[in-house]
Amino acid sequence: KQEVTQIPAALSVPEGENLVLNCSFTDSAIYNLQWFRQDPGKGLTSLLLIQSSQREQTSGRLNASLDKSSGRSTLYIAASQPGDSATYLCAASSNTGKLIFGQGTTLQVKP
């Protein structure tokens, strides 16, 4: 059974800092790994999807990496801004397409 863990649960950083969010999964037979952002009281916004054959994906200040052999993914945020404050969720996709989510990392970027 796939289990997804995110560390840390919460993170507070000053504006401008580069930071890394961690995601680990127990079953390496994933189809893809997706990173989402969730603002309070809102739905999920897809940030990046890394296919199982890929090692990383980049979008703007975001870079996500995937290492299936070690069961890890990281989300790197460069030059953080207060608007980046949100909860970040990673999710591993199984062969049926369903996503198994981690518990999330709540990020606060202080001006």
Partner 1 sequence: GAGVSQSPSNKVTEKGKDVELRCDPISGHTALYWYRQSLGQGLEFLIYFQGNSAPDKSGLPSDRFSAERTGGSVSTLTIQRTQQEDSAVYLCASSLVGAGSSYNEQFFGPGTRLTVL
CA gap 88, 106 in Å, rounded: 6
CB of 86 to partner 1, least distance (A): 14
Tokens of 91: 């999710």
Residues 40 to 69 in contact with partner 1, rule: CB under 8 A: 42-46, 49, 51-53
**Contact flag: residue 106 with partner 1 (CB under 8 A):** no
88, 103 contact by CB (below 8 A)? no
Tokens of 25: 């999964």
CB of 43 to partner 1, least distance (A): 4
60 Cβ contact partners less than 8 Å away, ≥ 6 residues apart: none
CB of 15 to partner 1, least distance (A): 28
Q: Which residues bind partner 1 (CB under 8 A)?
A: 31-32, 34, 36, 42-46, 49, 51-53, 89, 91, 93, 95-104
